Amino acid sequence: MTEFKPRPEHNAVRELQKGVEDVKAMMNKFLKGWGVGAIVVVLVVLYLLSGLYVVGPGEKGIVLMFGKVHSITDPGLRYRLPKPFMAQLIVDISKVRRAEIGFRSDANRTRAIAAESLMLTGDENIVDVQLFVQYKVQDPVKFLFGCENPENALKASAEVALRGVVGENSIDYTMTRGRMEIQNKVENYLQRLLDTYNTGLQVTQARLLVVDPPSQVQEAFHDVVRAWEDRERLIKEADGYQEDVLPKARGQAQQEIREAEAYKVQRVIRAEGDVQRFSSVLVEYSKAPKVTRERLYLESVEKFLPLAKKFVLESPDSKLLPLLPISDHTKVGSGTSPTTSQKDPATSRKGTD
């Protein structure tokens, strides 16, 4: 049977001191060679590599040298001197930001801010207006250093522009036909204020979401708006009817004018022809009045009595016996009218003269 030996006492402080001494001995051994130089080189390389930075798509990098703007860099992998010599700031210039005046929108609901939305109009009425503004960074340097907290400055400027423009117009004009004009004026006014304050922001859209009277008289004003809309609709319908009728009336008038002009030309040409024909007949008549007169007489009878039977007799000195079968002409069913039959003897008598 072996003899029992007590376990040696464990001293943690002594073991820690021994470990520290071992590390010191190892470091002294390492530093006696090239260890110091290698460490210095690694530290210098790491220090220089700290100047690398990345500018993402749609962003701009502003490089500062001792706190002053040195350059503006485009997207990509870029390098600048390490701190404290240089530093960089990244600004997203493609992001479309938004500002809400008169309301705040949460996840699924919108709540009105009466302190911002209620304002006076030019005719001293109260109107509830909510404005939605979209903007983006145009100048990153001005955005960072031109104005302190430019986004808060934009919200305050938007409220100023909205109250200023609404205060120049009546409540009826603001709620009805002047809504788009007021919206454009607010956008232009807001952009001028932002440029004056050197915010570096550009307004892309300013839209009026709500233009309503106070809730106590809201229904009455809505009736007015509906009446204005009905009026505008009826005016547009009347304009449409006018645009449909007027061209037709103008076309019909032009058509009648052309027809009248054509009739005029036709009558003038016919009259000139009649004059020439009469002149030629007059010349012939002057040469042989009797023959021409008889020819004209026969032509007239032929023209005005085309269906009547006509008998041409010789002169009274002729030896032929003039015989007119009156019985044939007095029959009603003979195909000739009684008037025509009564004119035949006259025609016959005139032909014998």
The answer to whether 90 and 73 have CB atoms below 8 angstroms apart is no
pLDDT-based confidence at 312, cuts 50/70/90?
Answer: low
* Percentage of the chain exceeding pLDDT 90: 43
Angle ∠(46,49,52) on CA atoms, nearest 5? 155
pLDDT, one tens digit per residue, over 184-240 is 999 999 999 999 999 999 999 999 998 888 877 778 877 877 888 899 899 999 999
- CATH class belonging to 97-213: alpha beta
pLDDT-based confidence at 352, cuts 50/70/90?
Answer: very low
- Identify the top-confidence range among 14-23, 71-80, 104-113, 169-178: 71-80
Write phi, then psi, for 8 (nearest 5 degrees): -65, 150
For residue 337 the two structure tokens come to 């009218």
Write phi, then psi, for 309 (nearest 5 degrees): -80, 130
Tell me how far the alpha carbon of residue 148 is from its chain's centroid: 38
Write phi, then psi, for 109 (nearest 5 degrees): -145, 160
Whether the link from the prior residue into 84 is cis, omega within 30° of 0, is yes
pLDDT exceeds cutoff 50 at 349? no
Q: What is the pTM of this model?
A: 0.55
The answer to whether 203 and 191 have CB atoms below 8 angstroms apart is yes
The answer to whether 128 and 210 have CB atoms below 8 angstroms apart is yes
As a whole number, mean pLDDT of residues 94-115 equals 89
As a whole number, mean pLDDT of residues 163-173 equals 90
As a whole number, mean pLDDT of residues 177-181 equals 89
The answer to whether 130 and 177 have CB atoms below 8 angstroms apart is no
pLDDT score of 302: 82
Assign 222 to helix, strand or coil: helix
As a whole number, mean pLDDT of residues 165-191 equals 90
pLDDT-based confidence at 322, cuts 50/70/90?
Answer: low
Q: What is the DSSP string of 99-120?
A: EEESEEE-SS-EEE-HHHHEEE
Angle ∠(155,215,209) on CA atoms, nearest 5? 40
pLDDT, one tens digit per residue, over 246-260 is 999 999 999 999 999
CA distance 210 to 306: 88
The answer to whether 137 and 201 have CB atoms below 8 angstroms apart is yes
CA distances from 328 to 102, 161, 331 (A): 111, 110, 6
* Percentage of the chain exceeding pLDDT 70: 80
Q: Which helix (H) or strand (E) holds 198?
A: none
From 159, 131, 132, 143, select the one nearest 195 (Cα to Cα). 143
Write phi, then psi, for 68 (nearest 5 degrees): -105, 145
Tell me how far the alpha carbon of residue 304 is from its chain's centroid: 71
Q: What is the mean pLDDT of the chain?
A: 82
From 148, 156, 136, select the one nearest 201 (Cα to Cα). 136
As a whole number, mean pLDDT of residues 90-107 equals 91
Domains of the chain by residue range:
33-92, 97-213, 307-352
pLDDT exceeds cutoff 80 at 8? no
pLDDT-based confidence at 138, cuts 50/70/90?
Answer: very high
Assign 200 to helix, strand or coil: coil
For residue 182 the two structure tokens come to 């007021």
